[in-house]
Every structure is written in structure tokens, then in C-alpha cells.
Amino acid sequence: MGQVEEARVSCIDLLTCHRELLVSTLRSIQCLLDNLLANRFFCEEDVEIVQRTVTKPNQVRKILELVQCKGEDACEYFVFIIYKIRDAYIDLQPWLKEINYKPSRDMEEMKVVNTDPISRYCEKQRHEMSRDTSFIMSYGQQDETRLEDLYTDTVMELFNDANESLGFIQSLNQLLGEDGVFNPQGEIIYVMGDAGVGKSILLQKLQNLWSKRELQTDAIFFFKFRCRMFSIFKEAEQMSLRDLLFKYNCYPDHDPDNEVFDYILRFPDKVVFTFDGYDEIQEDIDLMNVPEVVSPEDKANSLQLLLSLLCGKLLKGSKKILTTRTGIELQSRVIKKKVVLRGFSPDHLKTYIKLQFKEQEHRDLVSVQLDASPHLCGLCSTPLFSWIVFKSFRHLHTMHDTFHLPETSITLTDIFLLLSEVFLSRLATPASPLLKKSTRCTSETFRVGLRPLAGFAKLALQGLERGSFLCSQEEISECGLTEDDMALGFLRPIHEFDASDAPATFEFIHITLQSFLAAFALVLDKQTSGNSILKFFTECSRRRDPCCLPLAFCTTGFVKPREKRPFSTNEHLQFTNLFLSGLLSKTQASLMGLLVSPVLLKKKRALLKAYLSSSVKVHLEGLPCHTADGEKKVHVLPHFLWILRCIFETGSKDIAKMTAKGITAGFIKLGYCNVYSGDCTAINFVLQHRQKLLGLDMDNNNISDYGVKQLQPSFCKMTIVRLCVNNLTDSSMEVLAEELCKHKIVKVLGLYNNNITDAGAKLVAQIIEECPQLAVVKVGKNKITPVGGRYLAMAVKKSASIFDLGMWGNSIGDEGAEAFAEALKNHPRLTNLSLAANGITSSGGKCLAEALKENTVLRIFWLVQNEMMDDSAPHWAELIQANTGLSHLW
């Protein structure tokens, strides 16, 4: 009994002793009043007395006076409210620890309802975000699909500030974590990826996880923005940070004292922002002469607010995820970590197929068709393209008696024609369930749907020409499109604003679809001169490459290059060129001939053919090159890759042969050109027609095993094969071993930093043994153990041509070192060898040192980052004193 009395006295004393701390710190008054009233510690009159008090500190003083008058239970319940509602009273949590507060049993049974504005706002945000993100509507399908029923992870690769890979992210929780942070002072988690690779859907999944409290973060607020919305705001429209957060995201309903905004300003680390599509900002950022925004109360242009947030001038320390297409570079000082999305891995694609097709029969049919076409697999590694292919398969399979995926040389144009056919097929009268399915007739579908198709195409082209992703209802009507046409699926309304008087704004369901339709408009156009079809080719050639036009920061924010550009990259225009090439191909001649005059088609096809035939030669002539070892070497730019893509879309062997003839260099470097697996068919389409031998460097891309399979016909011409940092597995080694051992002309083989295991190492060893001209092999930073090390060592021992072998960063250990020691004895040719970072101890080191006493050829030997101890030092000392040819020992 005495202990209870002591506890009661101490609780009353606490409020007296710490009165000034409570007065200066307590903020959420309404939550206290609501709970004290609900549990009858206060009456209505008490609440009115507090509310009549003018300032918040005086309100707290009044509450303290009243609860102390009400007795010990009221005082303890007052403290219990602070204990239970931690988010609202976060400043007082250290105080609770200091006084070692633990509620009594009776108090634990008391009810506390969280009516705090901050907590209410957080719950409202979670509810609205769950509602907005639970269904996939990204690509405009009429039937909603639950996110959890279709979302599939993609490959996410971490990079440092020097664009060197740091490995892969295994879960979305790691995206917000500390893995890969190279600049703790940076503000931005920078997520890059190609068109359709899944940037937007990744953010949607992240938002959905947060709404369900399944994301590992202590953030209690989440604001999501699409960067293109900042292009909709009027330039003269001024707004504060409060307006941007609450008017265009989620509004705090019960917050008369602005407690939510004050909390955000005080605890920015509790806030997550996602900004999707930074490349879609269409303003001249460098023309903004007003000062940067540093005060959250100041009003400014919406774009200024965005840039100030990203730079950390506003809400510094909040978590900010910014997505953009590949090709936009920001200064490292504002980037916290960098992530590149790589699309579906083979396992991800299998998972996606299972989610897309519920019937095993359809799964098997699709899988068989994909396995038969490495190129189609490569295309389907991009989530957008796989969604189109699988959606088309399902839709057309339900409508027609038979439907199969295209079996040979499917192009991106084919894929977007499939999507258009699906949309246009909605014009057909639905068949009765009792009637037999119709026979598919693509040409009839396009003929019937030509009017709306032409309208959407015109709308898309007008948008690209004026540099806009958005269109108004007026612009839609001017293109002859009706309300019924809007139901086909090409467009979707934008719900970025809550202003009821704002006119309806629409966008195409994906930017790449807008590019496709713009190309369709160029083909259909009968009025302007034929040369107009080349307008975007000319524009892209003038701009050269998006990589040459970095978007940077300056003291007042971001800076654009000098020339005015409708887009931050020209990828949208490049896609239009690509689709134009596909639509004017001979493959599509029968379809397009029904929609356009054959005479006009022939004229446009001739213009395109003439341009593409000479474009590669012109491009290469404008690049710096050097001659080494009697060969002309040139490092091409990404624009070269776009030209090859367009040539492949035409399907013209004549153009491919002329292009191959125009490549006079003996060595082409395509490193860091963002080549993905689907591009390899385009590269092979041209290179297989080359008569002379060729060296090809494709290091630091994303071609994967699918890409190597597509390049298979061209390996017969290659003397240099560099495929480092390309996410290759043993499957690629099977292709390389078969082709390189068949033709026996390879001199250099680069496979550094891939996923090659011992099985792949055995195949590399076979190449070393059987290719008499092979001199340089780089297989460092793979997954090679002592088993693979023995295979490679035995192959080196037998080879009379190998003089440079790089094995840095594997795990061959002492067993592998001993095998290499045997290979080194009296080897006639090997001059450079790296066994660094291979887990070699003193035992293996001694074997290597002894073996090198019998070698007079090796000049450079790297053994850094191993595990040798002092007991191996005498052996190396003896080697250094011996008369060998060794000049560099690391």
C-alpha cells in the first residue's frame, strides 16, 4: 500500500518537477484533451477553459493545473497518453526514459485513442497510398490487376560514383538502406533504367509496401510525385512547400495549428519522397533567374521547389528516390547512392510467366516459344515489352482460334503492332460465348481501326514536335478522336491534381507508345514532303548522344545544356526513328500497303534506306580513332547503337551489308554504351555480313546470356572478344567454347567480373587449349574455386600462345596456386599473370615462389590481397635474388 502511495506522489511530483520541460515541449494538445475527456478525467467545461487560452504553452500550463487538481490517476493518465502515442510526443520519449516510466497494471488497461493530427495524417497517407497503389494500372488495361498478383522483382545493380558495379540489391528494403552509399552527404537515391525497365512499377511497389507497414523504414510520411506534373503548372504560378506537399498529395484534415508541417520541418528524416521520371521535365531550368528556395515558407515556382528539395536546400536529410532514363547524369555531390535497373533475369521472367498465365497449358506454350528465340527472350527481359507480348498472347488467344507468338526475328515494331491490334480489336463486336472464335485477321483489324489509329498517331506526333507528353481534351478533339475512341486504351487521364476546376489532361499509357504512334503518323502523312520522315533522325544526329548532354547542378540548382531541348534525353525521338524503320520494312509492307498509298510508301522507304545506308559510315568518320598493332580502332557512341537498332528493324539485308562494308575499323569499342540483350540481334544483323576480321569490345553493358546467344553467328569473325561486366553465366561459356574453338582465330578473351563458375572455367580452359592464337585471357572477379583453377592452370601449361592471364578476385586457394606453380615451370610464353585476391596462403605462395625459379619468361606477377604470412617471405626473397626474368612482383 505504501509503494502505491509513493508511486502516486511521485507521479504528481513529476508534473511539478518537470513542468517547464513539458510546457516548452508538448505540442499535440488536442490529443491530450480528447483522451482526458473520453476517460472522464476532464469535463466539457475543462476542455473549453483550455481552448480559450491563447498560446500553446499556456494551454499546456492550464492542462497541467487541471490534471493535478483532478488527482493522481489523472496525472498518471496524462503521462500514459505521452507513453502510448510515441509519434505525437516523440520529443518527450527521452524524458520517459530518464524518469524510467512504466505504467501500472491499472493504467495498462486504460484506453488511449490516437487523435493526434500527425498520426491521423500518417494513417490517411497510408490509406490513400494503399488505395492508389494496390492495383496495376500503369499500362492502361481495362481490367484491374492486383499489384501483389503480378509484380515481379527485377535485377537492381548498385554502382559507385565512378560507375563501377558494387553488386546487386536483393530486396526493396536495401534500396532505402545504407548498402552502396558512396556519399553520405548526398540527398538522392538515384535509380536509372531504360524505357520500360520497370522504374515506375518499382516505386509503386515501394509505396505499397510502406502503406502496409511492410517496408523496413522509420519514415512516417511518404510523398510521391511524377516529375512531368511540374510541366503542367503554369510558369507564373507560385506555391509554398506546404502547398506542394499537401495540395498535390494528401491533405491533413484535422490540423488547425499546422502541427503536421511543423513536424515535417523538424524531422525531415521521417519523410520519404519519390520523384518518378526526372528525364520528363521539359522546362528550361537554367533560365530561372530567381534565387534558390531555402525557406519552407517562401513561395516559388514549383520547379524551383523540386530542385531545392533534390539539392537538400529544403528538408535536408529526407529520403529522396529519383528515377530517370539512362543517359541523364547528375553530379555525384548530390547523389547518395546509385542504382541501375536491369530488367528481368531468366528466373524473374519465369516467375512473371507464372503470374501472367494461370493455365499450365499456356505457360508451357509461351515458355517453349521463348526458349526457341533468344532474341524474344532478350526483348522480354524488359518488363514493358514482356507485358505487351503476354497481354497480346492472352487477349488474342481468347478472341481467335489460334494465336502464337511471332516465331522468327520479332522486332520492337512487331511488339507495338501487337499492342495496337489488341486495342483496336475492341472495336469489333463481342462474340457470343456460344459462337466459335473468329479467325485472326490483323489487316482487317487495322483497316477498321484506321480512323482512330490515325487520330492517336497525329496526337502523338504533335506532342513530340512541341516537346510534350501531355494532351488536353481540346487537342484530342482536334485530332478527330471521340469519347468512344478514348476507351480503346491508348490514353489515360492524369490524376495528379485535386483542383476540381482543372481541365482534363491525358497522357499516352507509356512514352514509348507515344513514340510508336508518332512514327505511324510520319508513315501515314500524305501532305508534307517525303523528307519530313527524317526530321527526328536529323535532330538526333545533331544532338549526337544523350550521354554527351549531362544535366548538372550549379549554385542555383540544375543546369541544362545550352541548346533548348524538348526532352532531357533524345531517347523518345530515337524510338520514333526505330519504329519508323520497322513500319517501313518489307515485313510490314502488306499491312502498311492497306493503310498508305504504295507509291508514297515506296518513296519513303527509299529515303530511309539511303539515309541508313550511309549513316554508320558518316558516324564513324566523325569519331576519333587511333591505329595500334596495324589496326584502326574506334570507340563508338550510343548513337551508333541506335543506328544498328534501326537497321535491324528494317529487316533489310542489303542495308546491313552496306553498313558492314562502311565499318572500316578493325576494332570497335562499344563499352559503356548501355547495350542490353535485345540489342545483340541488331549488332549481329550487321556484323555477320562483315568480310574482314573484327575486334569487338562490349565491356560494361548488360547483354547477359541471351545476348551472347544472339551474337553467336558473328563470333566466326572476331579476333577480340571482350564481354567483361555483362552478367554472363556458364551458359554463355558454352556458346563461346563452341564457336571460338570451331574457328580458332580469337586472340583476346575478356570475361572479367561476370558469374562464371568452375563449369564455365572448364570451358574457358578448353578455349585456351584449342585456340592457337589466344594470347590474353581475363577471367578475374568470377566464381572460380580450386576446381576451376586447376582446369585453367592445366590449359595454360599446354598453351604455347598465352602470355597474359588475369585471375584477380576468384577463390582458387592453395590448391589452385599449386596447379599454377606446375604450369609456370619452364613455360615458354606466359609473361603476365595475376592471382591476386584468391585466398592463397603461405603454402601456396611457397609453391609459386619455388616454381618461378625455373621460369625465365614471366615478367609481371600479382599476388596482392592474399593470405600469405611471414614464413613465405624467405622463399620470395630467394626468388628475387635468383636470376629470373621477373621485373614486377606485387
- Into how many domains does the chain fold? 6
Domain assignment present for residue 739? The answer is: no
Task: Give the per-residue pLDDT at 549.
Answer: 27
**In terms of domains, do 331 and 186 share one?**
yes
**In terms of domains, do 11 and 63 share one?**
yes
Task: Give the per-residue pLDDT at 343.
Answer: 93
* Segment 804-841, tens digit of pLDDT: 999 999 999 999 999 999 999 999 999 999 999 999 99
Picking from 583, 610, 638, the residue at the C-terminal end of a domain is 583
Q: In this structure, what C-alpha cell is assigned to residue 744? A: 580458332
Q: At 751, which CATH number?
A: 3.80.10.10
Contacts with 783 (C-beta within 8 Å, 6 or more apart), sequence order: 755, 756, 757, 758, 810, 811
**In terms of domains, do 170 and 313 share one?**
yes
Tell me: pLDDT of 78 over 80: yes
Spatial distance between the Cα atoms of 277 and 262, rounded to a whole number of angstroms: 29
Domain range for 101:
2-115
**In terms of domains, do 143 and 280 share one?**
yes
Confidence at 137, pLDDT banded by 50, 70, 90: low
Domain assignment present for residue 588? The answer is: no
Spatial distance between the Cα atoms of 886 and 294, rounded to a whole number of angstroms: 61
**In terms of domains, do 773 and 844 share one?**
yes
Spatial distance between the Cα atoms of 682 and 648, rounded to a whole number of angstroms: 5
Q: In this structure, what C-alpha cell is assigned to residue 589? A: 509492307
Residue, of 40 and 615, whose pLDDT is higher: 40
Q: At 633, which CATH number?
A: 3.80.10
**In terms of domains, do 167 and 308 share one?**
yes
**In terms of domains, do 671 and 683 share one?**
yes
Residue, of 605 and 639, whose pLDDT is higher: 605
Q: At 57, which CATH number?
A: 1.10.533.10
Confidence at 499, pLDDT banded by 50, 70, 90: very low
Tell me: pLDDT of 450 over 90: yes
**In terms of domains, do 543 and 572 share one?**
yes
**In terms of domains, do 293 and 268 share one?**
yes
**In terms of domains, do 798 and 822 share one?**
yes
Domain assignment present for residue 589? The answer is: no
Picking from 320, 343, 366, the residue at the C-terminal end of a domain is 343
Domain assignment present for residue 361? The answer is: yes
Domain assignment present for residue 772? The answer is: yes
Per-residue three-class SS string for 773-815: CCCEEECCCCCCCHHHHHHHHHHHHHCCCCCEEECCCCCCHHH
Mean pLDDT across the chain: 88
* Segment 365-422, tens digit of pLDDT: 889 888 888 888 889 999 999 999 998 888 877 777 666 666 557 899 999 999 999 9
Task: Give the per-residue pLDDT at 667.
Answer: 93
**Alpha helices, H only, 357-448:** 360-371, 374-380, 383-399, 412-424, 442-448
Closest CA to 26 of 54, 66, 67, 57: 57
* Segment 812-822, tens digit of pLDDT: 999 999 999 99
Q: What region, left, alpha or beta, does residue 325 occupy, with left being phi > 0 and alpha being psi -120 to 50 degrees?
A: beta
* Segment 573-601, tens digit of pLDDT: 999 999 999 999 999 999 999 999 999 99
Picking from 80, 115, 150, the residue at the C-terminal end of a domain is 115
Domain assignment present for residue 783? The answer is: yes
Domain assignment present for residue 709? The answer is: yes
**In terms of domains, do 427 and 538 share one?**
no
Tell me how many degrees the CA angle 574-579-581 measures, rounded to the nearest 5.
Answer: 95
Q: At 197, which CATH number?
A: 3.40.50.300
* Segment 212-250, tens digit of pLDDT: 999 999 999 999 999 988 877 766 678 999 999 998 889
Contacts with 432 (C-beta within 8 Å, 6 or more apart), sequence order: none
Q: What number of H helices and E strands is found in the chain?
A: 39, 27
**In terms of domains, do 313 and 203 share one?**
yes
Q: Are strands 552-554 and 667-669 parallel, antiparallel or unpaired?
A: unpaired
